Structure formats: C-alpha cells, structure tokens
Amino acid sequence: MRSLISFCLLATVFAAVSAKMQNVTVTGITVCQKKRQANVKVELWDRDTLDPNDLLSTIYTTSEGEFTITGGEDEVGKIEPFIRITHSCHANKGCQRVGDYVVPQDKIDGIYDMTYVTLDIIVHKEKEKCS
C-alpha cells in the first residue's frame, strides 16, 4: 500500500514539474451575409480528454466584427485549443447557434489568423441553443 501511495505522489510531482505553459492567440472577423457582425461571443477553450474542457478566455467582437483572443494553459502534453463562437446568424427566433473551430497545432505559442469567419456556414457538430 505504501509503495502505491509513493508511486502516485511521485507521478503527481513529475507531472507538475514537466508541465509547460502553452499559449495561443486567434484573430479574425465574423461575417454573416457578407456583413461584419458586432458583439458576437468568442471563447477560447482547451479540449481535455479525461476531464472537462478548460475555458481560457472570453471576448466579444468589436463593432466591426473583429476579435483577438489569447489564452494559455499549463499542460504536460500539447494543448488542444479551439474557438467557440456563439451567434444569431441564420438562427431560429429566440435561438443562438454555437459552433466550434479547431486551432491548428502548429499555431500553439503563435498567432492563428482565421481572417473571415463566415457564420452563414454550419460547422461540424454545431448546436442551437434556445431560450
């Protein structure tokens, strides 16, 4: 029993020591029907396998639909960042569409420029939330 506790303690210490801070910055412009979309919610998340995903940062687009969001996480392996955008472009009345966009792994510790994010397009596994 002592050896199991010692092993778990040693593994925890090793994981804490080997974790490193990883950051990512994502920029873009949200558009719907070729018009820039103001006040769109943009969240930066880190996808986790064994525990709930980590919210790294939340912002809203400017009056011109522009956003720059930055976040970081201490992880042993590579972070798996993604952007979650909540908007009402082509949503049913009283509802909002929620879509996730993967951030490429080669953009970790760098900048990912999404340029124009066309909200007209339904993304894979998109959801609609209604109040």
pTM of the model: 0.85
Predicted pLDDT at 17: 53
Q: How confident is the model over 112-123, as a mean pLDDT?
A: 97
The SS3 of residue 8 is helix
pLDDT digits (tens, 9 = 90+) for 43-71: 999 999 888 999 999 999 999 999 999 99
Cα–Cα distance between 24 and 7 in angstroms, integer?
34
The 10 Å Cβ neighbour count of residue 118 is 14
Cα–Cα distance between 44 and 56 in angstroms, integer?
5
Would you say residue 72 has pLDDT above 50?
Answer: yes
Tokens of 85: 């955008």
Would you say residue 92 has pLDDT above 90?
Answer: yes
The SS3 of residue 121 is coil
Query: 80, 123 in Cβ contact below 8 A?
Result: no
Q: Which residues are within 8 A (CB) of 50 and not within 5 positions of it... i.e. 6 or more apart?
A: none
pLDDT band at residue 79 using 50, 70 and 90 as cut-offs = very high
pLDDT band at residue 13 using 50, 70 and 90 as cut-offs = very low
Would you say residue 35 has pLDDT above 80?
Answer: yes
**DSSP sequence for 24-89:** EEEEEEEEETTEE-SS-EEEEEE--SSSPPEEEEEEE--TTSEEEEEEEEEESS---EEEEEEE-T
Tokens of 31: 């558009």
